[in-house]
Structure 1
Amino acid sequence: MPLLQATPVQTAAKRSFDMLASGLGILLLSPLLIVIAVIIRFTSSGPVLFQQTRVGRQLRPFKILKFRTMVENAASLGPAITSGGDPRITRIGRLLRKTKLDELPQLFNILKGDMSLVGPRPEVPKYVEMFEDDFRQILIVRPGLTDLASIKYRDESSVLAQSEDPEREYVTRILPDKIELAKQYVRHSSIALDVRVILRTLLQLFR
């Protein structure tokens, strides 16, 4: 089944919704963002923010922002896939990952236009290249802060920690399923669906 291209009106409405929600979120959450930044700064060496190249809409790369949850230079100390028991994760980093608070800086990515509140989670170039034809279909929309796969794989790191080969598990089983969920989202994309995904995400976090 071919994927549906969003109309200009739908795209404009979604972008307006994203800008309003992300701007309001940054304003309301600014005290929390400052507190988290201070804690990271004084509990481990390295920058407060972690930046990584991800692939966005129309396969254009961008720098995703997260609060740093791992030791400095973690990329050179282990694999790209992070499982629950990864020793590179800092103490505060474990809490931030569990509560998804490490993702909050992506509100700035949304405000800038790199991302949307809801959309397929952005992948690193390495994995996009493995499934390029699929991602060409999916990334007619902006990648998102949350999506259907984020809800289904809420405990992804714990699942990967149980595998003898976490990266193989991710590439052969989890990522293909995420791609199918992303295609479903693109086919049925709407503001109403976005609101439902956001509410389900928040409900899951509060649980």
Structure 2
Amino acid sequence: MAELSGKSKQVLVKRAFDFLLSFFGILISFWIILLAWVLASINTHSNGFFIQSRVGQDGKLFKVIKIKTMRPTKQPGTTVTKRGDPRITRLGAFFRRTKIDELPQLWNVLIGQMSFVGPRPDVPGFGDKLTGNEREVLKLRPGITGPATLKYRNEEELLAAQSDPEKYNREVIFPDKVRINLDYMRNWSLRKDISYIWQTVFK
């Protein structure tokens, strides 16, 4: 019972931290999000927000919101993005490099669909296909950053060096991310969350 109450306390602390930080984050960065949306709308000749279904907590789908960084295309494409992808606009590359494209996700955090720290929200076909003990990672809210995100912060460059980026992502990167995120879940602390956020912003 003590363990359960301890876990419940961790969940409440993490959620309170997420809510407060995202609330003030939106207040501070609203003008940046608005400007980026306008510029992305002009640059891509479409809605500057990129909205897509991702796998969330407990395997439930939700709509993630980002600034659009790619040109719209009618051709079915890969879900894997590598450095130099021709779909990425020049402005989009800047948004990706500066992480401005991630700012709208503060709304996802505010309403409880995401956390600041956790596994990145994947498109259907990855996290929702996990089996056995690995499915425990779905207990977490997906995050804007985290230990796996930081390890693979140069993921696009890494994928660009592979002859088969999709296969490498599926067989090497994704399983490693699952392992890292399971370790994060089992050894969570608010201090570590703050450290991951700090590393994301300032390193």
| SS at structure 1 position matched to 2:65 | strand
CA–CA separation in structure 1 for the residues paired with 2:9 and 2:197: 21
State the aligned residue count: 200
TM-score of the two chains, using structure 2 as the length reference: 0.93
CA–CA separation in structure 2 for the residues paired with 1:114 and 1:193: 21
More displaced, 108-117 or 38-47?
A: 38-47
**TM-fit CA distance, 1:78:** 2.2
CA–CA separation in structure 2 for the residues paired with 1:164 and 1:14: 40
Read off the aligned partner of 1:202 and give its amino acid letter.
V
TM-score of the two chains, using structure 1 as the length reference: 0.91
2:192 corresponds in structure 1 to 193
CA–CA separation in structure 2 for the residues paired with 1:150 and 1:161: 17
Render the CA deviation track for 1:154-180: whole Å, top value 9, x for unaligned. Answer: 110111111111100101111111111
| SS at structure 1 position matched to 2:125 | helix
| SS at structure 2 position matched to 1:54 | strand
| SS at structure 2 position matched to 1:62 | strand
Render the CA deviation track for 1:105-159: whole Å, top value 9, x for unaligned. Answer: 1000000110001111111111124434355211212111100011111110111
CA–CA separation in structure 2 for the residues paired with 1:198 and 1:170: 24
Read off the aligned partner of 1:89 and give its amino acid letter.
I
Read off the aligned partner of 1:65 and give its amino acid letter.
I
Higher RCO (CA < 8 A, seq sep 6+): 1
CA–CA separation in structure 2 for the residues paired with 1:67 and 1:92: 11
1:61 corresponds in structure 2 to 61
Task: Spell out the pairing of 1:30-179 with structure 2 (5 A cutoff).
Answer: 30-73=30-73, 76-133=75-132, 135-179=134-178
More displaced, 121-130 or 192-201?
A: 121-130
Tell me, which stretches of 5 or more residues in structure 2 are unaligned? none
Q: 1:89 and 1:77, CA in 2 relative to 1: closer, same or farther beyond 3 A?
A: farther
**TM-fit CA distance, 1:43:** 1.9
2:9 corresponds in structure 1 to 9
CA–CA separation in structure 2 for the residues paired with 1:129 and 1:159: 24
**TM-fit CA distance, 1:20:** 0.3
Q: 1:61 and 1:200, CA in 2 relative to 1: closer, same or farther beyond 3 A?
A: same
| SS at structure 2 position matched to 1:52 | strand
CA–CA separation in structure 1 for the residues paired with 2:133 and 2:55: 13
Read off the aligned partner of 1:180 and give its amino acid letter.
R
Tell me, which stretches of 5 or more residues in structure 1 are unaligned? none
CA–CA separation in structure 2 for the residues paired with 1:139 and 1:96: 28
CA–CA separation in structure 2 for the residues paired with 1:196 and 1:140: 22
